[in-house]
Amino acid sequence: MIRDLFISLRSGAELGDVLPQILLVIICVLLALTFHECAHGFAAYKLGDPTARDLGRLTLDPRKHLDPIGTLCMLLFGFGWAKPVPVRSRYFKKPRRDMAITAFAGPAANILLSFVALLFQHIFAVLYANAVSNNAAAVSLDGPSFGMNVLFIATMFFGYLHSLNLSLAVFNLIPIPPLDGSRILFLFLPDKYYFALMRYERIIMFVMLALLWTGIVTLPISAVCNWISNGMSFIIELIPGL
């Protein structure tokens, strides 16, 4: 994400055009990571585990959730993670099932937020296109009005919010530790295989970081995100006027 924006600067883009986009990406990253972890904590709380509540993690305050490396990866690549919400499975009535539900809650929250963001992106894009069409002469002479600039920025903001939430959800559903997908995998794997896999959590994470840096993982994840995004757009475009 931000890496691409910096590359565009080196290619000759104006700082005044790129800086607002960088700020929008930062805001969207904070929102995506915060909703993700808060959803984990909320699901665990509803299933009987008060740990997240007791530690003050049932909040939308980004400072409670951000992991430095995971946040940096989100900013640079569009894929990352936040500081995991502590979960105590001993509070769950059905530990395997409830752990999987808690793990899925984070990506599910991001997918929902991604869909809502895409809906608003479509709405603001239509409003902006109509404003340009109705004020074509004025725009050509004096440049876009303040209202049109607001519509354009809002369209860009919700576009970033859509893509970042979707990429965060898809990335975290990969079934390797310490990502959420590994906790969902726990529902299906025998204990001995699951805990054998978890022993290599740190090594697997370093390998994943290396693959992110090289871009090898980026292509398949981006393909899945594009497929889901196209499906969301198809649904939204069924709404009259969009």
Please identify which of the residues 14, 37, 201, 237 carries the catalytic annotation.
37
Give ∠ CA 43-47-49 in degrees, rounded to 5.
Answer: 90
SS (H, E, C) the chain: CHHHHHHHHHCCCCHHHHHHHHHHHHHHHHHHHHHHHHHHHHHHHHCCCCHHHHCCCCCCCHHHCCCHHHHHHHHHHCCCCCCCCCCCHHHCCCHHHHHHHHHHHHHHHHHHHHHHHHHHHHHHHHHHHHHHHHCHHHHHHHCCCHHHHHHHHHHHHHHHHHHHHHHHHHHHCCCCCCCHHHHHHCCCCCHHHHHHHHCCHHHHHHHHHHHHHHCCCHHHHHHHHHHHHHHHHHHHCCCCCC
Assess whether 37 carries a catalytic annotation. Answer: yes
Cα separation, 15 vs 69, in Å, equals 26
Active site residues: 37
